[in-house]
Structure 1
């Protein structure tokens, strides 16, 4: 629709070939265009329940070429909050990660990670809980997960 309006009104003064290229480039490099669709009903992670779809962009100025999005939240083992997030970068492509976070102690455990949703689901989880580190992307995702579950993230190193 935008392209049609630009053609009818002369747009930005660009010739038609350039306008078409701009439209194609924007569609081609949009991270959302390449994301695996995450069907939460088909995701079965041991110890995880009540996954619900969300859409929270993670602000990571330290990684200007990467885009992190929290796409699902749920309940996990030992009273933890579970998040599924995506990371996209032109340099490294997609990564899907599921983590459980104990909000009161700042402990986390990666339940799966992979370049596809299927790869994430097939990967092995961390055997034990570890500390969240201030400034890390995992901590930023944990802050979103804890806040959305109605608790405050504490104990971050």
Structure 2
């Protein structure tokens, strides 16, 4: 088929399909994991429940709803990977999982989820036509404050 005749994906339909499928879930957007990181994540309570998407595998020609969402709305935020995304409309909260040059330990993800409403690096608000991005805490701030408070530090 001639490429100019190919139908472009309908963004409203992709947004609707994405929200129907992933509302109430958390995503981990990554470009590969350090050795043993995934194994450690799966040992954590709820660690296997995060939907993981490797951005190196995104289908550019015919994206699935999640691939479209990540490519069009998450990656343009410019945050370091991996990212934790909680899909809970009307707001989707995004937090990167890096400290320095390394991914945080998977045991910290639960702490990040606990404080995500107040300590996200970005918020994507669902609108009638897509998502509106709002900045959050500075990219350099990635301590799990609730964990530190719990430990009395």
Which structure carries more helix by proportion? Answer: 2
**Bigger radius of gyration:** 1
Specify which structure has the higher proportion of strand: 1
TM-score, normalization: structure 1? 0.30
Q: Which has the higher contact order (CA 8 A, sep 6+)?
A: 2
TM-score normalised to structure 2 length: 0.31
